[in-house]
A = this chain, B = another copy of it.
């Protein structure tokens, strides 16, 4: 177990009807004028936004609305949001939506707290000072990104060509509070539910497969989460309004990305680093769908460097019998079983299913490796030839 620091202070208020606590909770946190930040407007149609507004109003809080966040939230819109919040004298941002809305809210918060363009931090891998915090809360409508409890904020710079997708990692972007009502995810489509399941699993498996050696407790917690998500995922796809299944996915979304499943392990996230350029250059590719294609191929490519850990994962999470004579067969069976599971829940496992052909590879690889100069760190450094080989495994 490597040394680690763990601090996940987000207050989670979980369950049916928790929206009624929004106003009083935000008031206790010092809010007076709230930005309601959301996406395409489904939260309006569903009535959720009205419920939130009622709770705010009953607590005597005022608000302004800024909807229209797009998937893979864009810097140009975030900059508008910063100006809007200044003009409206907003002192609390409440993201009502999924990962994109939350990440947009976080980035607006970074702009307001620091006075700087948030892209400056994403581009340079730097982060705001510890006291440069703008209060952000979440009403979650999609179990996937885990941004509601995470210190990550992924945004896309649409002001350059080609677009670049980068993350800010900082304790300053953790939401103060998250309201998680599983019922708010009943209407999530099968495809988006599948994307969420993959994203949750990836946040867990990327922390698991790091080559750090022994870390039993963290690994067992990760396996527990993965098995629970595997089964809840099947149920949620078949029965979208199964409360327990939606609750498992929602809570797992938060736990898989608040760092609990990474304590004592290095943070590398190679599959995310391989995927982000894909969805940055192909805006129609959902992050979860991209990961569903890339992760198994990456796993296949690097498996030999951590055979027993891949076998452990295969055995404990994917129920593959351990082959003590040939652990590599168990490891291999784990990857195959995972791919079958992804297909079962309607996720792609091949590049062509993303609409990406070999002719598209070069610019993606170029962006991934900054022109071939910066390999993706994994068990081995992944240079353009390695990445091309990984893509080939996913053809």
Interface residues of A (CB under 8 A from B): 1-18, 28, 130, 214, 216-218, 220-221, 223-225, 227-229, 231-232, 243-244, 247-248, 251-252, 255, 260, 263-264
Contacts and interface: CB of A to CB of B under 8 A. Distances in A.
Contacts of A28: 130
Given A7-B12, A8-B8, A16-B3, A228 B232 contact: no
Contacts of A225: 217, 220-221
A217 B248 contact: yes
A227 B227 CA distance: 15
A14 B5 contact: yes
A9 B12 contact: no
Contacts of A18: 3
* Max chain B C-beta neighbours (<10 A), residue from A28, A248, A260: A248
Closest 6 CB pairs of A and B: A3-B15, A9-B9, A220-B224, A224-B224, A7-B11, A217-B228
11 contacts: A1-B247, A1-B248, A3-B14, A5-B12, A9-B9, A214-B244, A216-B232, A217-B224, A217-B225, A217-B232, A217-B252
Contacts of A214: 244
Contacts of A263: 14, 251
A296 to B, nearest CB: 24
A282 B356 CA distance: 72
A6 B13 CA distance: 7
A156 to B, nearest CB: 31
A229 B16 CA distance: 33
Contacts of A4: 12, 14-15
Contacts of A15: 1-4
Nearest to A228: B217
B6 A9 contact: no
B228 A220 contact: yes
Contacts of A130: 28
A264 to B, nearest CB: 7
Nearest to A3: B15
Contacts of A1: 15, 243-244, 247-248, 251
B10 A7 contact: yes
Contacts of A264: 14, 247, 251
A333 to B, nearest CB: 22
A216 B248 CA distance: 7
**Residue from A8, A218, A231, A264 with most neighbouring chain B CB atoms (10 Å):** A8
A219 B248 CA distance: 11
Contacts of A12: 4-7
Nearest to A220: B224
A255 B258 CA distance: 14
Given A216-B232, A221-B225, A221-B255, 20 more contacts: A1-B248, A3-B15, A4-B15, A5-B14, A6-B12, A6-B14, A7-B11, A7-B12, A8-B9, A28-B130, A216-B231, A216-B244, A217-B232, A217-B247, A218-B251, A220-B224, A220-B227, A224-B224, A251-B263, A260-B260
Contacts of A224: 217, 220-221, 223-224
